Structure 1
Amino acid sequence: MGENPFTPSFGEVPLHLAGRAETIRLFQRAFDSGNRRPELTTIFSGARGTGKTALMAYLADCADRSGWIAVRTTALPGMMEDIEIQLRRKAAHLLGDQAKVSIGSIGIPDLLSVEVRQTAPASSNWRSRMEDMLDQLSASDTGVVMVVDEVDPSLDEMVQTAAVYQQFVVDKRKVALLMAGLPHNVSSLITNKTVSFLRRANQIHLGPIDDFEIERALSRTMADGHRSVDPRGLSVAADAIAGFPYMLQLVGYHAWEEASGEVVGIEGFQNAIEISRREMNSRVFAATLAELSASDVLFLRAMLVDEGDSAIADVCERLQWSSSQVAQYRRRLMDAGVIGRRARGVVGFELPFFREYLQERFEDEGL
């Protein structure tokens, strides 16, 4: 057998992006269209492990293949400079030399040495330098896609980038902005008055994927590695994955490793599920729990009393909180992607297996 075809590592693009075909089709149409389409300004949100980074990486590749130049960065200090440097490198064949050359010093160590340095015009800033490049790229009808991961609303550069992008759009430049982050960070960003236009941006929440899409992605990826799957094992795997893209890659990866022949059987999938759940605990759930406040956790503990979804009225009674206090923490947990609305006045756990993880943690800690 060949190399394991699954990609449970951060940021890697799977061979088959389960459940994203329609989204990809719409973005491909936007990149190929001569008109400006809503998809060119999009914010993706979702809990950890829902495939935000992988999807944006795939869409960046789509943009490159359609003649755009996609530059990818993370919302960290220096992100604006990172965007500029990447664009200069990727578009070097289309850009002229905009820097001025000056002589910094002259010396005679071995007869003669001249230090030459490049300096940007004194009046330039990030926006003007980007505009200069966009002007040159427009000659070849080349657009620029800025892809920003891990949205951080508290980062000044994040807000500045979005604000300048808005001006690019107003000036009818060929630009696109794709951003992704945890729900509460996205929610905070779009409520920032400086970039209020983002409230009208295309917003896509990445939730659970249908089981049939999970089964299809698993079987196709296995087939790419020249292995087939036992249909019973495939069904067990899809049920355990519960629509979670990262869990799909984990289960697929470990099922491949467990298999010894050309067919991945039900036992291999069962072993893979156990291994994957342990890894989910350490890689996803522990980090999610660490970000929650003590009151957030109290809210979740009140939900654990129910075997399934929870009525908000019951949570309110158990906690002896006011309705406004319950509404506040309900919103916080929904923004964090931990719980989701099931019906009017009813919520449930959004992250697969997070309920079981919390129950085990509380039992181990005697809480």
Structure 2
Amino acid sequence: MSAATAYNQMNPFTPMFGKVPAYMAGRELIIENMVQAFDVAGSNPDLCSIFVGARGTGKTALLTYLGHRAEQMGWVVASATASNGMLDDIEQRVRASSAHLISAASSKKLAGASIASLGGISWENIEPSANWRSRLNLILDQLNEANTGLVISVDEIDPSIPEMVELVTTYQHFVRENRKVALIMAGLPYKVSALLSGKTTSFLRRAARHNLGSIPDYEVKEAFRLTVEDGGKRIDDDALDLAASAIGGFPFMFQLVGYRSWNAARKERIISVEHVRQGSQIAKEEFDSRVLEATYAELSKGDISFLQTMNEEGETSRAEVAERAGKKPAWVSTYKKRLLEAGVIEEPSPGVFEYALPGMGEYLQNRG
């Protein structure tokens, strides 16, 4: 590669929600378990998995990545976002993912189609009046004949949507009938908790729950360096340390810092400390407006009061929160639970709290 070519490589970082990054830092074990589940199938509990995390923790990107891996392993994948009409969307995605030709005949939705290397499939006599479960059963029968299964992927879990509940209860029947079907979902902590507490969806408490927390600095540094080098540049060790500090183990911040630092280097071959310093400042402003502001808008006055008692950096004890707020232990317990479920704070050890979102303490102080 010539020097001129190296200088002009496309930015390899992807600061867009849901975009699969070059390296899924910190998620290797989850990916390994899910790939094993797709490979073995059967009664593997990971075939029903929920990914939980605050905004910017990489939930959507992980769902997208796992969908790609499942397709590579021969599964048909239908991806949707929780919303009204999602069941029809899933059904249409199944048909689109498993056929190259859609028949115009009203009695046959798909004729003489083939699924990648899985052989021929023909949807026979699917009655429009049949309910969603019945229509999916017919599709699953055909997929079974082709020796493959279905992965349903749902982002932004929302238990207030009736079709979300219908999907979950129908999936329970698929499991009882030993269908080869997986359900992988992602959502904010408080919405996942609400779904799990529902009377008709309580069986999901037995699903594999993966909490997407922060990524260790050593993994951040490795993934950051590899991304930079694969893009055609290099990065100084001191600059890498500064980048890791600015990222704070947060996946979306990883992409923002990387993207802006790369741009700051422009046509230079090496990303320096100064480039990272410039990039990190812009990234922080973006993170504040795109993540912290949206999170703040959902907080109650009590939530904010609790958060403002916490140390801007590091850990804060339950006793410190109660003393600074001038409140009783019951008040602390109530808001601790709310904020843990919202993914705004973490409790690394009993009675000890810290912010789950990088820069949240400073953001709150600036808001007054």
Relative to the length of structure 1, the TM-score reads 0.90
Which runs of at least 4 in structure 1 moved beyond 4 Å after TM superposition?
93-99
Q: What secondary structure does 2:151 align onto?
A: strand
Task: Find the counterpart in structure 1 of residue 327 from structure 2.
Answer: 321
Q: In the alignment, does 2:17 pair up with 1:10?
A: yes
- Give the gaps of 5 or more residues in structure 1: 102-118, 363-367
CA 1:167–1:97: 2 relative to 1, 3 Å: farther
CA 1:55–1:280: 2 relative to 1, 3 Å: same
How far the C-alpha of 1:278 sits from its partner, in A, is 0.3
Task: Find the counterpart in structure 1 of residue 75 from structure 2.
Answer: 68
> Quick one: which amino acid aligns to residue 177 of structure 1?
L
State the alpha-carbon separation in 2 of the partners of residues 343 and 94 from structure 1: 56
Task: Find the counterpart in structure 2 of residue 105 from structure 1.
Answer: none
State the alpha-carbon separation in 1 of the partners of residues 313 and 130 from structure 2: 61
Q: In the alignment, does 2:279 pair up with 1:294?
A: no
Task: Find the counterpart in structure 1 of residue 217 from structure 2.
Answer: 211
- Give the gaps of 5 or more residues in structure 2: 1-7, 109-124
State the alpha-carbon separation in 2 of the partners of residues 270 and 307 from structure 1: 20
Task: Find the counterpart in structure 2 of residue 265 from structure 1.
Answer: 272
State the alpha-carbon separation in 2 of the partners of residues 181 and 307 from structure 1: 26
State the alpha-carbon separation in 2 of the partners of residues 233 and 308 from structure 1: 23
Query: How big is each residue's C-alpha offset from its partner over 1:78-103, in whole Å with a ceiling of 9 and x where there is no partner?
Result: 111100011011112599999428xx
% identical equivalent positions = 46
State the alpha-carbon separation in 1 of the partners of residues 136 and 206 from structure 2: 24
Q: In the alignment, does 2:95 pair up with 1:88?
A: yes
Q: What secondary structure does 1:292 align onto?
A: coil
> Quick one: which amino acid aligns to residue 205 of structure 2?
R
> Quick one: which amino acid aligns to residue 70 of structure 2?
A
- Which one of 38, 43, 46 corresponds to residue 31 of structure 1? 38
> Quick one: which amino acid aligns to residue 343 of structure 1?
S
Cα RMSD, aligned residues only: 1.8
Q: In the alignment, does 2:184 pair up with 1:181?
A: no
Check the 8 A contact 1:95/1:136 in 2, yes or no: no
Task: Find the counterpart in structure 2 of residue 239 from structure 1.
Answer: 245
Query: How big is each residue's C-alpha offset from its partner over 1:155-209, in whole Å with a ceiling of 9 and x where there is no partner?
Result: 1111110100010011000000011011111111111110111001000000000
Query: How big is each residue's C-alpha offset from its partner over 1:94-147, in whole Å with a ceiling of 9 and x where there is no partner?
Result: 99999428xxxxxxxxxxxxxxxxx96364011100000000110011111111
Q: What secondary structure does 2:310 align onto?
A: helix
Task: Find the counterpart in structure 1 of residue 5 from structure 2.
Answer: none
Q: In the alignment, does 2:157 pair up with 1:151?
A: yes
How far the C-alpha of 1:352 sits from its partner, in A, is 1.0
State the alpha-carbon separation in 2 of the partners of residues 13 and 266 from structure 1: 26
Check the 8 A contact 1:94/1:136 in 2, yes or no: no
> Quick one: which amino acid aligns to residue 77 of structure 2?
A
> Quick one: which amino acid aligns to residue 11 of structure 1?
G
Q: What secondary structure does 2:24 align onto?
A: coil
Q: In the alignment, does 2:60 pair up with 1:50?
A: no
Q: What secondary structure does 2:201 align onto?
A: helix
Task: Find the counterpart in structure 1 of residue 339 from structure 2.
Answer: 333
Check the 8 A contact 1:151/1:179 in 2, yes or no: yes
State the alpha-carbon separation in 2 of the partners of residues 45 and 346 from structure 1: 21
Relative to the length of structure 2, the TM-score reads 0.90
CA 1:34–1:204: 2 relative to 1, 3 Å: closer
Query: How big is each residue's C-alpha offset from its partner over 1:298-333, in whole Å with a ceiling of 9 and x where there is no partner?
Result: 1111224x7632211222233233322221111000
